[in-house]
Chains A and B, each alone.
Chain A
């Protein structure tokens, strides 16, 4: 089984190329056709099927220009750019593409359902299929209750969710998400990231541009960093971010004597090296999500978007459903039998690994419970104060975040 996973991983570099840019250049010109700015300057990159690629860079680095060229909204001044082997302006190609723009440009007079129905119509879907997908997507993005409200009345976050839903309406093989978490609350951010992970599992290709590096880090396999229209870094997340000179060991909380023994071993192995021992932090996002989930259990109502429901059935691919059949037939056309087999083996391997990890975790937890002393006895007064300070800091940040969620972007 492990070999099968390796085979599947190896084949990743041999998967079909979805996006290919060679010497891609874009020069903006003024009214007199004089060059004004070189937004993209001779860049080369490839995105292969099933990859989740993050396009990073500060403002004006050429991210949006690159994305707009991928979508055929801007035309390259030089170089060659293909999407699925064809020109980005090819209309048929666009059946395979989903796009969430940085700002969601919606028709304010349409309701949420009408908006999705309109975009679904552009793909030539039947009325029944459109209705089914729209309802499922509205449920997925947590706007089922606002189905018949004009999107002009929506908050930025709600509009963003609709934007995300419209990008998914055709179950695209290639998704371009421009700042997908911008304007979303932490819960929405988490849902978007979960969605991207799900899409990755289903073999979809995704390009994400974001200023929120933590988001990119969490979901992307690979990042391309742009600056001044040029690529400054391009590689796998693991390759680029791993600090190979340090090691981190994460274990359940250890008794003091065990910790001391470990310290001793480390000092012996690396006499001059710096060593620190600390409790791992939970991310603010995880903390927030836990609180909201608690609130949901207590049935607290909100007038805005609610946390998303289940992933739209036609997007999940793990239940026998009409929509799934349609989409599976689409994906079958894209996959070779070898790819399908590799994916199945990968999924089996992942499931086996997950089961094994869960089993190990249960065993460790049982052991720990048996050996660890009562927590009240262990905690010193200092530790109590530290925890309280952290909680207070976390609450303050959370309050700031809820007051002005868009600040996160900056």
Chain B
């Protein structure tokens, strides 16, 4: 244990006294204190705070990840190259302990920096909020939509298989009824092809609302113990037609909320009454994230853990409006306070530091310094690229579509199963949107990224490190 602690201490000393580390520290301070003044939000206090949280904390995390990769590679690899490791491994200390000590040293110093940065950012934010002049409405909006932690509920996905099957049956029946030729549906292959085609159409048109049409979304698993004072938020983004930004403008529409309540009938028996409450028609900005509080009592809106929301397209200028699945509509319900959520975001960043340091240490244990840094950077970039390839495919990724067969998608999917995308650890977007970073999410991230994917890489690196002929590598020895 004394040897392990000595190596940890040595690593920390080495870091503190290195020039590049000091440079990164300066960058860190700049990102906390100067970056917020270089960014402009949407001009509202809410936007300003969102930008501050998202970019400032995100940049801190990015700098710390880079720094931990560089330092871990440098500490492990350069020791071997300069033969300083010879002086250590000829002492009664296991090489695995040396590697673990160096890893721990790098992690500890970065966790300390993360803590300092997180406290500073929080204090700076509190100071700015206390000294900022804003209207009561702005402050309320800020508190309800940003400085909070709300669980996000997604609508239930339609069963596209069942819908496609039903549509197919309908078409066959209709063709028969009209005496049309149904030969293409007679054999299994023909039916399967028709089924897939219908399914593809359904997926492609999911979320499209034509003029005069109404689309409804069902939500399940909502908390039933809400009081009427709790605010349930509806978040949505509407696009005109597809995703082309040049088409975007303001459209007219109307939100409808299903309300269920019990009423005593004539014989004194309780019956459930289903009703719909429609908001007045309004102009809605497209391609922008909108949020509003659900304007009916929670006890009516959420019934048996379920709720239903609809949208009626009144826009005559455009052919159809599109609700992209990844952008709502969602329901958001407050779970805990901002401070708790902030701490969770910092915890996720800490897991990120633990993970990338694990990767860099493992790689540096087997390779020279430049190759180790290159490999680590390539790993992280590939993770980012894979994540982009998979998530940028339109529609939902787990529905089979024409895109899922492409090489890019397959490659991205394979990579995401093997490596950890760095974006996983940047949850400042959630924090800035007032979305809850739940403990199950953090636990899954830790288990999936750290334990299942990074730890095996580290163990492999440690195994190679303990078996390397260290004197072969030395540039000096």
Contact = CB atoms under 8 A, between A and B. Distances in A.
Nearest to B10: A118
Contacts of B1: 124
Contact of B469 (A74, A106, A109): A74
A113 interface: no
B90 A94 contact: yes
B476 A105 contact: yes
A247 to B, nearest CB: 46
B375 to A, nearest CB: 18
B442 interface: no
A391 B82 CA distance: 44
Contacts of A93: 92
Contacts of B82: 105
A101 interface: yes
Contacts of A109: 13-14, 17
B94 A103 contact: no
A121 B5 CA distance: 8
Contact of B92 (A75, A101, A122): A122
Secondary structure at chain B's binding surface: helix, strand, loop or mixed?
helix
Given A103-B83, A121-B3, A121-B5, A91 B93 contact: yes
Interface residues of A, number: 33
B87 interface: yes
Given A101-B477, A103-B83, A106-B84, A123 B14 contact: no
B471 A68 contact: yes
Contact of B470 (A73, A114, A121): A73
Nearest to A96: B92
B447 interface: no
Contacts of B84: 105-107
Given A75-B469, A92-B92, A123-B92, A101 B87 contact: yes
Nearest to A100: B87
A122 B13 contact: no
Interface in A60-117: 64, 68, 71-75, 91-95, 97, 99, 101-103, 105-107, 109-110, 114
Interface in B433-477: 469-472, 476-477
Nearest to A95: B92
Given A103-B83, A122-B3, A72 B92 contact: no
Contacts of B2: 121-122, 124-125
Interface size grouping (class) on chain B = 20 to 34
B14 A73 contact: no
A91 B17 contact: no
Given A73-B470, A105-B476, A109-B14, A122 B83 contact: no
A339 B471 CA distance: 37
B104 to A, nearest CB: 15
Best-surrounded residue of A92, A99, A125 (most CB of chain B within 10 A): A99
A166 B90 contact: no
Interface of B: 1-3, 5-6, 9-10, 13-14, 17, 82-84, 86-94, 469-472, 476-477
Interface of A: 28, 64, 68, 71-75, 91-95, 97, 99, 101-103, 105-107, 109-110, 114, 118-119, 121-125, 166, 170
In the A-B complex, list the 4 residue pairs whose CB atoms are closest, starting with the nearest.
A121-B6, A73-B471, A122-B91, A109-B17
24 contacts: A71-B86, A73-B469, A75-B469, A91-B93, A91-B94, A93-B92, A94-B91, A94-B93, A95-B92, A97-B90, A101-B83, A103-B477, A107-B84, A109-B13, A110-B13, A114-B13, A122-B6, A122-B88, A122-B91, A122-B93, A123-B92, A124-B1, A124-B3, A170-B91
Given A105-B83, A122-B88, A122-B93, 18 more contacts: A28-B472, A94-B92, A99-B86, A103-B83, A105-B84, A105-B86, A107-B84, A109-B13, A118-B6, A118-B9, A118-B10, A121-B5, A121-B6, A123-B92, A124-B1, A124-B92, A125-B2, A170-B91
